[in-house]
Structure 1
């Protein structure tokens, strides 16, 4: 089962791709340009060049499921939030369904459930994630939605929590999200489930069951 990784060149995407390659989990990394290909080739990871703001249907060929971990990033404007985090995500859901893929795994965000609870500058991004998640839920496409808290660059502890009360804080390392994503990808029977992810003291197998 080959997984298309949309957002493979991002901070979570790269870590996930490296973990998947080491685990022998087949993936295809979707990148925006050939300039991004060198790192993936060095790690023995297949790539496909496609742009979320352009045409990308060909990227899905030969894949069985899709991971969406793309993001417009904190330094872009609302135009990129609309075209990548909202419309780009919606288009990928529709194409995955049209092509008969078995599952769609979305990296969302904890506050996407209620964008007005997010800091003001993050509300447009959270609103985009809210709408994209809703589209996925209502698409009829089998899905998993992972909702990490505030992202950090700490190393992977591989220890998790699934609520603020349990975690005591709202953060999780990108490295831990990558490990959680690999766990979800490797469980093909896991469908129509959503998980809050925070740094904690439990294994990912206790969180994602």
Structure 2
């Protein structure tokens, strides 16, 4: 059994990820800032660790990661119009997670990003969307430049549709929708596949079973 620290442990992808990890024989650790989430998360099989993603530093992240074998960054500032939180959550949260993993001696790191964030933005892009894309882009660049054993997943438009267990995963996969449940299943699969280290892949709904898609993308 491996212990997996999940930053953004009460997020919509994370809520699907905890039971996926339990089914795979791992112990998820949900890093959240509110004690009130404990009962719900423990009901999904997760250990709860309290961490204020925005208010605490990399040393606190390292302490929260203690005893874990891998880190998943699945946090996001949400769909609101708060530009500042795109920086403090999506970028700075990732940077502190990367540094915290290093301080804790953890090499394996999986980041949930977003499709197309390296593409040039149209001139009429709104300020909030621009801030979000730039935060995800810079967080991915920082992780690629780190010495961690990283994998970056870049989902398309997230939906609450039931998971299908089938995806399209790869460098050149076009934009599309993907259920959050299938994103979670893919995160769990790449954690168990050493060949996924160093992979940065787009992820949308598709026809290939998740395990096969991960094996194919990593080779």
Normalization by structure 1: what TM-score?
Answer: 0.91
Q: How many residues align?
A: 208
2:142 to 135, 141, 146: 135
Counterpart CA distance in 1 for 2:181 and 2:93 is: 24
Counterpart CA distance in 2 for 1:165 and 1:6 is: 27
Counterpart CA distance in 1 for 2:188 and 2:214 is: 11
Residue in structure 1 matched with residue 33 of structure 2 by the alignment: 32
Per the TM alignment, residue 45 of structure 1 is displaced from its structure 2 partner at its CA by: 1.9
Q: Deviations over 1:86-118 (max 9, x none)?
A: 111111111111221021100001021225169
Per the TM alignment, residue 187 of structure 1 is displaced from its structure 2 partner at its CA by: 2.2
The answer on whether the counterparts of 1:86 and 1:128 sit within 8 Å (CA) in structure 2 is: yes
Residue in structure 2 matched with residue 9 of structure 1 by the alignment: 10
Residue in structure 1 matched with residue 212 of structure 2 by the alignment: 206
Per the TM alignment, residue 140 of structure 1 is displaced from its structure 2 partner at its CA by: 1.3
- What is the aligned-residue RMSD (CA, Å)? 2.1
Judging changes above 3 Å, is the alpha-carbon distance between structure 1 residues 96 and 206 closer, same or farther for their aligned structure 2 residues? same
The reply to whether residue 65 of structure 1 matches residue 81 of structure 2 is no
Judging changes above 3 Å, is the alpha-carbon distance between structure 1 residues 45 and 160 closer, same or farther for their aligned structure 2 residues? same
The reply to whether residue 152 of structure 1 matches residue 153 of structure 2 is no
Counterpart CA distance in 2 for 1:92 and 1:146 is: 16
Farther off after superposition, 78-87 or 169-178 = 169-178
Per the TM alignment, residue 25 of structure 1 is displaced from its structure 2 partner at its CA by: 1.4
Helix, strand or coil at the partner of 2:151: strand
The answer on whether the counterparts of 1:112 and 1:130 sit within 8 Å (CA) in structure 2 is: yes
Judging changes above 3 Å, is the alpha-carbon distance between structure 1 residues 33 and 146 closer, same or farther for their aligned structure 2 residues? same
Per the TM alignment, residue 165 of structure 1 is displaced from its structure 2 partner at its CA by: 8.1
Q: Deviations over 1:46-88 (max 9, x none)?
A: 1100011122322111111100000010014011111010111
Counterpart CA distance in 1 for 2:99 and 2:85 is: 19
Counterpart CA distance in 2 for 1:162 and 1:44 is: 28
1:173 to 143, 168, 179: 179
Per the TM alignment, residue 190 of structure 1 is displaced from its structure 2 partner at its CA by: 3.1
Farther off after superposition, 134-143 or 96-105 = 96-105
The answer on whether the counterparts of 1:115 and 1:123 sit within 8 Å (CA) in structure 2 is: no
Helix, strand or coil at the partner of 2:196: coil
Farther off after superposition, 31-40 or 117-126 = 117-126
Judging changes above 3 Å, is the alpha-carbon distance between structure 1 residues 14 and 23 closer, same or farther for their aligned structure 2 residues? same
Counterpart CA distance in 2 for 1:138 and 1:65 is: 18
Normalization by structure 2: what TM-score?
Answer: 0.88
